Amino acid sequence: MSGKKPGGVAETVKTIVYAVLIAIFVRTVAFEPFNIPSGSMIPSLLVGDYLFVSKYSYGYSRYSLPFGLPLFEGRIMFTPPERGDVVVFKLPTDSSKDFIKRVVALPGETVQMVGGVLHINGEPVQRRQIEDYVVRGPLGGVERIPQYIETLPNGTEHRILEAHGDRGMMDETRVYHVPEGHYFMMGDNRDNSQDSRYPEVGFVPVDHLVGRAEVLFFSTDRSAALWEVWKWPWAIRWERIFSRIE
């Protein structure tokens, strides 16, 4: 009797192809992982945080697809982001780059920084100072940064930092008029964030939204290299894992 043994190379290849297609589908329509490489969203997000972004929260655009394939224009199944959402978006001036910031102003609104205080539609946004944010350096030094809780007009509260007090470079700005179909994004680390206040970012078009940041699934302070397995337990920020992003 003769015959081919079931399975083999063909079955293995087929399994791999199916797995890849499923992963692409989930990444496109459901969740996509991102990591935080900079401190622009401290204290809400730290360098070394890894998070999931929900792709379905705002519907889908070409930037929901792998490599931003231009298979369709605009946005389908669109649900507008809410003020205070932490959003991943494609940089309007360079769509190959992903940014993550907080939505502070909606289409048709005005934004201005006056003396370090965010103003929306001409009204100052409430903030109250709380305990300083403490940063410990690698040599044991301590830096204390003024920290506030900011309350946006819809009641959303989040912490912000003012590393240079209220005298930072972008603590006094012109009035920005947010065009229809665009959003104004800012980082929580106000004096160390390149955001919609800068022309390199500017207003973010609705079709450049990638998704809403939802939950942290891993976090490391980067004090341990990948091969330094014995240091991992102390490098991982265990208390941040599976915490929701607000």
The reply to whether 101 belongs to the active site is: yes
Distance, CA of 58 to CA of 107 (rounded, Å): 15
d(CA 25, CA 107): 31
Pick from 80, 121, 112: nearest CA to 196:
112
Other CB atoms within a 10 A radius of the CB of residue 81 amount to: 21
> Could you say which of 101, 193, 196, 219 is catalytic?
101
Active-site residue flag, 40? yes
User: Looking at residue 240, what DSSP letter applies?
Assistant: G
Q: What is the DSSP string of 24-75?
A: HHHHHHTEEEEE--SSTTTTTS-TTEEEEEESSTT-B-GGGSGGG--SSSS-
Positions marked catalytic: 40, 101
